[in-house]
């Protein structure tokens, strides 16, 4: 019984630990691939071009956007982020599933388009104060930047009712187990066959 691939969209406030979670999720299940977004933001220390993101100039991004090369795109924290369409379509046609780590604006765009099978998951930090602490510990952002990220996080959480699932990232292993369960169950749905 063949089926088309599913897009597992994971959104979370910045600093919720979703990157680690998504990477572990992809590594733990067969047939699950990670989408690599393009962004105009500069790489953070330790981030690798073509692995964490594809880092491009704003001019190049806008050119690609005009050519309709993105499945979705959004402006987050004054930088552009987009999901390259071609690679995703290729995987989904082959029955491969893809994990997209994108913000709420991008998720709503994919939801509205209805052209692809998607499952939307929201990852929450245990609390806002915990999130603040995690952003501070990461020490890649300035105080002003952290305050801005917290403001945006509160706005993002208001989109929670439009998602299919919520996972609280308190203990990494249990959050991962919840994510894995969602993927496994969604793959078994009869309507997808
Ligand atoms: P960061 O700069 O912290 O890596 O990511 C900032 C925000 O942009 C996060 O919420 C992340 O999920 C989101 N993001 C990353 N890639 C994409 C993308 O391709 N599309 C959209 N809409 N958001 C993205």
| CB 64, CB 38: distance < 8 Å | yes
- Structurally, the chain folds into a number of domains equal to 1
Which range among 45-49, 75-79, 180-184 shows the weakest confidence by mean pLDDT? 75-79
Residue owning tokens 């780590």: 101
Task: Say what the pLDDT of residue 142 is.
Answer: 81
> Does residue 27 form part of some domain?
yes
Task: Say what the pLDDT of residue 145 is.
Answer: 80
Spatial strand order in the sheet of 38-39 = 54-55, 38-39, 79-84, 70-76
Ligand 1 pocket: which of 70, 76, 141 to mutate (most atoms <8 Å of CB)? 76
Q: What is the pLDDT of residues 130-183, one digit of tens each?
A: 888 877 887 677 888 888 888 888 899 999 999 999 999 989 999 999 999 999
Query: Which residue range(s) make up the domain with 144?
Result: 7-192
> Does residue 2 form part of some domain?
no
Q: What is the pLDDT of residues 97-124, one digit of tens each?
A: 999 999 999 999 999 887 789 999 999 9
Q: Is the CB of 105 under 6 A from ligand 1?
A: yes
> Does residue 123 form part of some domain?
yes
Task: Say what the pLDDT of residue 139 is.
Answer: 64
Q: What is the pLDDT of residues 25-37, one digit of tens each?
A: 999 999 999 999 9
In the numeric block, which tokens belong to residue 95? 């029955």
The three state secondary structure string of 68-119 is: CCEEEEEEECCEEEEEEHHHHHHHHHCCCEEEEECCHHHHHHHHHHCCCCEE
Ligand 1 pocket: which of 98, 106, 120 to mutate (most atoms <8 Å of CB)? 106
> Does residue 130 form part of some domain?
yes
Q: Is the CB of 103 under 6 A from ligand 1?
A: yes
> Does residue 68 form part of some domain?
yes
CATH classification at residue 14: 3.40.50.300
Q: Is the CB of 122 under 6 A from ligand 1?
A: no
In the structure, what pLDDT confidence band is assigned to residue 1 with cuts at 50, 70 and 90? Answer: confident
> Does residue 1 form part of some domain?
no
């Amino acid at each position: 019984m063949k089926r088309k691939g599913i897009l597992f969209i994971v959104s979370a406030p910045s600093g919720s630990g979703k990157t680690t979670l998504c990477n572990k999720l992809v590594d733990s299940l067969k047939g699950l691939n990670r989408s690599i977004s393009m962004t105009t933001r500069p790489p953070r220390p330790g981030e690798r071009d073509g692995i964490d993101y594809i880092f491009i100039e704003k001019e190049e991004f806008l050119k690609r956007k005009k050519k309709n090369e993105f499945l979705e795109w959004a402006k987050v924290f004054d930088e552009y982020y987009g999901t390259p369409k071609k690679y995703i379509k290729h995987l989904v046609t082959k029955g491969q599933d893809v994990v997209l780590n994108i913000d709420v604006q991008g998720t709503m765009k994919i939801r509205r388009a209805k052209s692809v099978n998607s499952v939307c998951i929201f990852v929450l930090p245990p609390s806002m104060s915990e999130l603040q602490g995690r952003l501070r510990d990461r020490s890649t952002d300035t105080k002003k930047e952290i305050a801005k990220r917290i403001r945006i996080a509160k706005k993002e959480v208001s989109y929670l009712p439009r998602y299919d699932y919520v996972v609280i990232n308190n203990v990494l292993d249990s959050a991962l187990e919840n994510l894995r369960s969602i993927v496994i169950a969604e793959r078994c749905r009869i309507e997808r066959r």
